[in-house]
């Protein structure tokens, strides 16, 4: 049996950064993504966000790539959101995403950061946050 523990912090936004994820909608979307992930044996440690994006801290399964994991989470959730007609217009996630591995020593900091998205985004806009990630991790 193989033992793999790779923790990924992924961030993805709504198409055109439209603020679809209101306080009423966000919990429904998060709960659905969590349930879908469980059914696909994807372990989500943290999932939170703000009006136009989500942060997800998940364990990478030994049998699946980061790209496939995010396709399963993003694609299926967009399909579900549209089937449930949570919005009058068609919902889409942006194609791009940010993903980076997280060391054991940084897990608690990343968890705290993800949990604190609402207050964080009172000070920092999503695009500024995204650009800081790209810069900090030399993408």
Q: List the chain domain ranges.
A: 7-136
Tell if the pTM clears 0.75, that is, is over it: yes
User: Per-residue confidence at 120, pLDDT binned at 50, 70, 90?
Assistant: confident
Q: Does CATH place domain 7-136 in 3.30.70.1290?
A: yes
Which residues fall within 8 angstroms of residue 62, CB to CB, at 6 or more apart?
A: 2, 4
Tell me what the pLDDT averaged over the chain comes to: 93
Give me 12's structure tokens. 């993805």
Q: What is the pLDDT averaged over residues 88-115?
A: 95
How confident is the model over 32-83, as pLDDT tens digits?
A: 999 999 999 999 999 999 999 999 999 998 889 999 999 999 999 999 999 9
Which residues fall within 8 angstroms of residue 100, CB to CB, at 6 or more apart?
A: 8, 9, 133, 137
Question: CB count, 10 Å around CB of 42?
Answer: 21
Residue 4's pLDDT is what? 81
Residue 3's pLDDT is what? 80
Is the predicted pLDDT of residue 1 greater than 90, yes or no?
no
């Amino acid at each position: 049996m193989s033992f793999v523990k790779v923790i990924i912090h992924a961030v993805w936004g709504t198409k055109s950064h439209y603020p679809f994820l209101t306080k009423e909608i966000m919990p429904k979307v998060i709960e659905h993504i969590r349930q879908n992930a469980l059914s696909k044996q994807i372990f989500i440690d943290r999932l939170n966000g703000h009006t136009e994006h989500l942060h997800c801290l998940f364990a990478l399964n030994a049998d699946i790539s980061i790209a496939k994991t995010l396709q399963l989470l993003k694609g299926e959730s967009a399909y579900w959101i549209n089937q449930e007609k949570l919005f009058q217009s068609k919902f889409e996630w942006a194609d791009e995403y940010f993903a980076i591995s997280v060391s054991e020593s940084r897990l608690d900091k990343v968890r705290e950061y993800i949990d604190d998205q609402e207050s964080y985004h009172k000070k920092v806009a999503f695009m500024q946050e995204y650009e800081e990630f790209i810069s900090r991790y030399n993408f």
